[in-house]
């Protein structure tokens, strides 16, 4: 990688817009995340957070805007485009299979095969998948899942979230998008998921987290990007921002249209 590429964000979006009929869900949004950084994406319902994530994931391609990955221009028009670039998404519903165990959830569609004794005979290598699952969970410091042959239906919310995040890493992505990863979790389970996000950062991944819980955001994020009515209106470094600053940006209670200033470590863009 040359020096110019190294200086670029891992993933960068410029001028991304998306409309659904007369509803302008995103309007000229810029967004970026670096390797080894956690960026929280916050805003009220309808602010455009999920639409932006789906544009990055290729589920709902942007109408306008440019994307670059590792400093190179790219196009993301399908989920496969995102996966091939190294972008993994964990949606709020997790999409885990309750009737399968942890191993088979992780490797569903990515099974490992071994060669049998007969010519051209192959079999699903359950042992290899189980060992790989144990190594992956250990590398993520997931200690609450004692038996990887446990059906996912019997796991807690935090454990299910850990399975979904671990599954997203099977393809060794560079960017992980997490949609409300702590929603409806208890205090202990939330702590487990936040620790897991810290581990993703330590592994050098770029992590994007959508959350309505500012306590969790401040606990895990390096930067906070605020969307309001489809526009990026503020960016905060968590080391210099307060909850009040972020809430003000979310609601528009302090920052009026057209402002351009720095407050409490956060830059405020055109609203």
Q: Look-up: residue for tokens 């997490």?
A: 178
Could you say which of 172, 204, 231 is where a domain stops? 172
CA trace torsion 76, 139, 155, 125 (10° rounding):
80
The string of pLDDT tens digits covering residues 57-108 is 999 999 999 999 999 999 999 999 999 999 999 998 878 999 999 999 999 9
**Do 190 and 166 belong together in one domain?**
no
Q: Final residue of a domain: which of 172, 187, 218?
A: 172
Outline where DSSP puts E strands in 135-205.
175-179
What backbone phi and psi angles, to 5 degrees, belong to 67? -125, 145
Answer yes or no: do 229 and 149 share one domain: no
Domains identified in the chain, total number:
2
Whether 105 and 69 map to the same domain: the answer is no
The pLDDT value recorded for residue 197 is 96
pTM for this one?
A: 0.85
User: Do 58 and 184 reside in the same domain of the chain?
Assistant: yes
The answer to whether residues 234 and 128 belong to one domain is no
State which residues form the domain around 123: 93-172
Identify the CATH number of the domain in which residue 249 sits: 3.40.50.300
Reported as a single tens digit per residue, the pLDDT across 118-164 is 555 678 899 999 999 999 999 999 989 999 999 999 999 999 999 99
Answer with the one of 130, 155, 172 that is the final residue of a domain: 172
Say if residue 82 is in the same domain as residue 104: no
pLDDT of residue 123: 83
Give bridge partners of residue 92 from the DSSP assignment.
none
């Amino acid at each position: 990688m040359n020096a110019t590429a190294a200086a670029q964000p891992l993933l960068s979006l410029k001028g991304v817009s998306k409309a659904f009929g007369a509803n302008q869900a995103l309007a000229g949004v810029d967004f970026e995340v670096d390797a080894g950084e956690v960026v929280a994406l916050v805003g009220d319902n309808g602010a455009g957070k999920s639409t932006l994530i789906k544009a990055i994931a290729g589920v709902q391609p942007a109408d306008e805007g440019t994307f670059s990955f590792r400093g190179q221009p790219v196009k993301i028009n399908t989920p496969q485009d995102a996966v091939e670039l190294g972008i993994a998404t964990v949606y709020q519903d997790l999409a885990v299979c309750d009737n399968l165990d942890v191993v088979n959830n992780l490797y569903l569609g990515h099974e490992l095969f071994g060669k049998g004794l007969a010519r051209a005979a192959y079999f699903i290598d359950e042992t290899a998948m189980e060992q790989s699952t144990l190594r992956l969970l250990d590398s993520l410091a997931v200690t609450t899942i004692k038996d990887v042959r446990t059906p996912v239906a019997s796991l807690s919310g935090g454990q299910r979230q850990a399975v979904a995040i671990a599954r997203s890493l099977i393809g060794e992505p560079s960017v992980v998008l997490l949609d409300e990863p702590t929603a409806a979790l208890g205090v202990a389970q939330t702590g487990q998921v936040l620790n897991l996000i810290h581990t993703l950062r330590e592994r050098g991944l770029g992590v994007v987290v959508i959350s309505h819980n500012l306590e969790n955001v401040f606990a895990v994020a390096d930067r906070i990007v605020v969307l309001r009515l489809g526009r990026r209106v503020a960016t905060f470094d968590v080391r210099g921002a307060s909850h009040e600053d972020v809430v003000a940006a979310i609601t528009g209670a302090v920052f009026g249209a057209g402002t351009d200033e720095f407050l409490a470590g956060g830059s405020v863009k055109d609203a």
